[in-house]
Amino acid sequence: MSKKQTAFSVLRTLTLPRKLKKRRVIHILTALVKGRLFTLQAYHTRQQLIQLRRDCTFQCPACEAPVVLKVGTTKIPHFAHLQQFSCTPGSEPETPLHLLGKSRLASFFHVKKIPVHVEHYLPRIKQRPDLLAGNSAIEIQCSPLPAEQVIKRSQGYAKMGLHPVWIRGTEHIPAPGLGVFQIRPFEQAMFRGTQFHPHLLQFNPDHSLFVYYSNLFYIQGNRWVAKASLLPMIEQVHPFAVPKKLNETEYYQAAALMRVERNKYIRSQLFAKNRMRNPFWRLSYELQLDREAIPEIFGLPLTGGHLFLEPPLLWQMKAALMIECGKPVETLLDEKLVKTAPSGIENRPLLQVLSAYETLYRNGRSMCFSEVVDISYHLLAKAWEN
C-alpha cells in the first residue's frame, strides 16, 4: 500500500466516528399502530406500554419508517426513529424537556376538553407542529434556532389557515416582577400579542408553570426591561391568558431601570475612540448637549419603542434633532436614518411612536426625571386605551 493510500485510510478511519456522532435519533409521541394514530398519554401505565410494545409494531406518521417504543426510567415514554435520514419533518434533536412539554400541554387541552392532536403531520407544507388544538398550531421550542426558521414555519401554518403559537420551553423560573432580561432574536420572533403590546410566553414542564415576559422595553443587544409573571398550568385558560399592562407605580419602576441602563450606555460612550463616527457623540454635538448631563427626556421607555432596533437614547436623540431642525419626525423613516425591526413592519406604527415622542419632547424637554416620567406614563395610558 502506498503512502498516499495509507494516509487516505487513516483519514477515513478518523472521520468515521465523527460521522456517526452527527447522526441523530428522532423522538416522537405519536405513531401509526395498525394504520391508526396512537398518542402516548400521561394516563398510560408502564405495564400497558410494555404489553403494547410486545404486541404491536409502530411506524412514523410522516415518513412511515419503523419506530420503536421506548419505555425507560429516565425519559418519558416515546417513539424513536431508528435512523434520521428517513424523516425530515421535526428533525431537530429531541430533549426530555421537549417531550415532557408536549405531553403536559396535551394533557392541559384534554382537561379543558379541547380536541388536540399531538405531532399531526401536515403533508402540504411538510411540517409537523408539536400540538394541533383547534385552529392553532402550537410549537414548544426548547432549543435555539434561527429567527428566520420561526418566521418561515409560522408562514407555513398561516398558509393552512392555522394560527401559529410559539411557546418557549424552559427550565428557568425567574423572580416575578420587573427586571432586565435576555431575550434573543429567535425568542423575539415568537412574540405574541399586538405590535405595540407583545409578550413572550414560556412553559416550564417540570413545574407545569407558564412564564410570561410582558411590557417589553428594548435596551440594546439582547437586553430588555420586562415584567416577569408566573401562572400555574391549572390556572391557565384557552385561548392563553394575556398579561396586564403596567400600572403607574410599575411604569415608574420600569423607567428607573431604563434610566440606569441609559446611564451605563452614556458612560460606555465616553471612552469611544473615533468620536466623529460615533452616533452618540455626533448627536450630542448637533443638539449641543453636555455628554455628562444628558437631559432626562432621552432614553425613556415608550410603548412601541421596541420597533426601533437601537438604544432608546439614540433614536430619541435623532427624533429631537429632526424637531430642532424644523423637519418632520417621519424624515427618520423616509431617509432610513433609524434602524427598525426587520419583520416587514409598516411605517404607520413606527410613525405613531415617533409622534408620541415628539409630543413628549415638546412638553418635557427641560423637566426633571419624575416630571418627564409622569408625562410619558399618561401618554402611554392614552395609547393603552386603544
pLDDT tens by residue, 243-277: 999 999 999 999 999 999 999 999 999 888 888 88
Do residues 243 and 199 make contact, with C-beta atoms less than 8 angstroms apart? Answer: yes
CB atoms within 10 A of CB 376: 23
Answer whether 330's CB lies under 8 Å from 337's CB. no
pLDDT higher than 70, residue 20: no
Would you place residue 14 in the very low, low, confident or very high pLDDT band (cuts 50, 70, 90)?
very low
Does the pLDDT of residue 4 top 70, yes or no? Answer: no
Positions of E strands within 183-237: 192-193, 198-204, 209-220, 223-232
| Gap between the Cα atoms of 357 and 23, Å rounded | 53
pLDDT classification of 386: cutoffs 50, 70, 90: low
Extents of the domains making up the chain? 18-89, 95-244, 249-385
* Gap between the terminal Cα atoms of the chain: 80
Please give the DSSP secondary-structure letter assigned to residue 176: S
State how beta strands 163-169 and 198-204 pair: parallel
CA atoms of 121 and 299, how far apart (whole Å): 47
Handedness of CA 254, 257, 262, 263 (dihedral sign): positive
- Residue that the C-alpha cell 419505555 belongs to: 71
Residue 91 DSSP one-character state: -
Q: What is the largest CA-CA distance in the chain?
A: 86
Query: What's the distance, CA 324 to chain centroid?
Result: 37
Q: What are the pLDDT digits (tens) for 164-205?
A: 999 999 999 999 999 999 999 999 999 999 999 999 999 999
Length of the chain: 386
* High-pLDDT (> 90) share of the chain, %: 63
Q: Global pTM? A: 0.81
Q: What's the pLDDT at 114?
A: 94
Q: Can you give the pLDDT at residue 8?
A: 38
